[in-house]
Amino acid sequence: MNSHFQSLPHPPLNRRSLLQIGAASAVGVSSWPSAAKSDDAESLAPKAKSIIIVFLTGAASHHDTFDMKPNAPAEIRGEFQPIATSVPGLQICEHLPKLAALADRYALIRTLSHSDNNHLMSTHHVLTGAKQPGGFFDKVASRDDWPCYAAGCEFLRPRADGIPSGVNLPTFLLQGPLTWPGQHSGFLGDKYDPWQITGDPNNADFKVENLTFQPGLELTRLTQRKSLLDEINRQQHGLDDAIASRRLTANQELAFSLLTSSRFSQAFELQREPDAVRDEYGRHTTGQSLLLARRLTEAGVPIVQVNVGSVQNWDNHGKIFPTLKARLLPPLDRGVAALLKDLESSGRLSETMVMMLGEFGRTPKINNDAGRDHWGPCFFGVFAGGGVQEGKVIGESDADGAYPTTAAFSPDDVGATVYEALGIMPNAVVRDRLNRPVHLNKGTAIGSLYS
C-alpha cells in the first residue's frame, strides 16, 4: 500500500512498440491494476463543460496580489500599491493591471484556508479536495493518495472517444527525490491518471511526440497493427483473464484512440492560431500554455491544469518584490486576462470555469530576506465562467491578512465546487484497490460563487 511512484512520460509509439504492446501483454507484463468501483452513479446538472486550473505552484502571496493591506504597517503591507479595478471598491496589485480591468468578469475569494504549511501535503489537498492519507512533511506521491479531479472525473465519467479527461502542462511537479502528490489518480489506479505534457508551448518546435505518427506509419498501417494486437489479445484472454491483463488492454485502446483522434492532436498545433491571438496571450511559457489549455478544452478535455512556472515557482522566501514585479506577475496578468477575454469573445466562458489559486498563502510579516514564508490559514482563489457570479468579492481577512474574519472555505470545498461544476456528486462513493468504500469528496460546494 505504500508503494511510491513517479509518473513517466508516455513513450512515442513506433512500429516496434505497437507490436510490443501485445507481446508484453501475452507474457503477463502490466501496469498497476485498478479494482476501483463506483457505488453511486447519481449526477447533477453540470454548470460547466470544462475547467481550467491555473495553479500557482509554490503559493503566491495574497498580500501582494489580490488581498492587499495598504493600511497595515510597512512590514506587512509590502512595497506594492493597490489600484482600482472595474468593480467599485475593489483594489488589487498595481502589477496586475489587465486583471484589474477585468475584475467584473470573475469572483475573488479571500478566505480560502487550511491548517498545513507544507508544499507537498498542501498541493495534494488543493488539487484533490482531500487531505493526503497518512500525510507528513514532504510525503511524496503514492498510490495511497486521493485522486486528482481529472482522475475522479474519468472514473465516474469514463470516455471512449480518445479524449482524455485530464491534461496537465507544461511542467511536472518534481524536485529531486520529491514527487508532488495530487497530480495523479492515487488509489483509483494509473488507468485514470491524467495526461502529462512536459514541454514549452512557446518553443517554435513544440510538439507532443506520442500524439503524432512515426514516419512511415500511416493510418491504414496503424489499423492493421491494431488488428494484429486484437488477435494477440484474443489468444491471451484464453490464457489469462486477470485484472492486470484487462488493464493493459485498456491502455492499448487508449493509445490507438488518441493517435486516431485528430480533434485532440490538432489542439496542440498552436500554429493554427492567428499571430494576433498568440501575441495577446504573450509569447512566453505561461501565455502559450494558457492558450493551449483553451484549445484542449475546445477539443473536449474537461479538466486542464496549467502549472504556472516550475515547481515552487511562487515560493518567494526572499526578494519577493523584484521577483513578482519583473518575472512572475506580468506574464500571469497578460495570459489569464487574454484567456478570459478569449473565452468571452467566443461565447465559451459560460461553459468553461477558470480557477486560479496556489496551495496556500504567504505570511503577513515580511521576513529578514525580504520575502514571505508559508501560510495556510488564509489565501485567495480567483474563479470565472461556468455560471460564477461576476464582479463578486467573497470573504474578508483581518487587518493583517492573517486569518479569515468571515466564513472560511477549505480545499475540500474547492474540490466539491469542481465536481459539482462538472455535474458530479462530490460525495459519490468509490471503492479503492482493496474494495473499501470511500467518499470521493467530503466538502461543500462554495454556493456564494453562484448567488
**What's the CA gap between 163 and 280, in Å, rounded?**
27
- Asked whether residue 232 carries a pLDDT value surpassing 90, the answer given is no
pLDDT at 150: 97
Q: How far apart are CA 381 and CA 446, in angstroms?
A: 12
pLDDT of residue 265: 84
pLDDT bracket for residue 144 (50, 70, 90): very high
| Geometric angle at alpha carbon 281, from 279 and 286, rounded to 5° | 120
Q: What pLDDT is stored for residue 224 in this prediction? A: 61
Q: Name which of 267, 258, 302 is nearest 288 in CA terms.
A: 267
pLDDT score of 255: 58
Predicted pLDDT of residue 324: 98
Q: How confident is the model at residue 215, as a pLDDT?
A: 57
Residues 6+ apart with CB under 8 A from 33: 189, 242, 243, 244, 246, 247, 433
Place 25 in a pLDDT band, splitting at 50, 70 and 90.
very low
- The more confidently predicted of residues 140 and 233 is 140
Question: In this structure, what C-alpha cell is assigned to residue 134?
Answer: 497518512
**Among the listed residues 257, 192, 253, 161, the one whose alpha carbon sits nearest the alpha carbon of residue 35:** 192
* Percent share of the chain, pLDDT over 90: 72
Helical (H) or strand (E) element with 154 = helix 149-156
Range among 187-191, 195-199, 248-252, 418-422 with highest mean pLDDT value: 418-422
DSSP-assigned beta bridge partners for residue 199: none
Instruction: Give me the helix-helix angle, 219-237 and 15-26, nearest 10°.
Output: 10
Cell of 71: 493600511
CB-based burial of residue 272 (10 Å sphere; 0-12 exposed, 13-18 middle, 19+ buried)? exposed
Average pLDDT over residues 220-233: 59
pLDDT at res. 207: 84
Residue 14 reports pLDDT greater than 70: no
Q: pTM of the prediction?
A: 0.85
397 DSSP assignment: B
Residue type, 255: A
Q: How confident is the model at residue 366 (pLDDT cuts 50, 70, 90)?
A: very high
Q: What is the mean pLDDT of residues 158-174?
A: 91
Where do the DSSP E strands lie in 68-227? 82-84, 91-93, 106-112, 166-169, 174-175, 178-179, 195-196
pLDDT at 162: 79
pLDDT at 160: 81
| 3-state SS, residue 424 | strand
- Where is average pLDDT lowest: 67-76, 183-192, 341-350? 183-192
Chain segment 441-451, per-residue pLDDT in tens: 999 999 999 99
Q: What is the pLDDT of residue 9?
A: 36
Whether the per-residue pLDDT at 21 is higher than 50: the answer is no
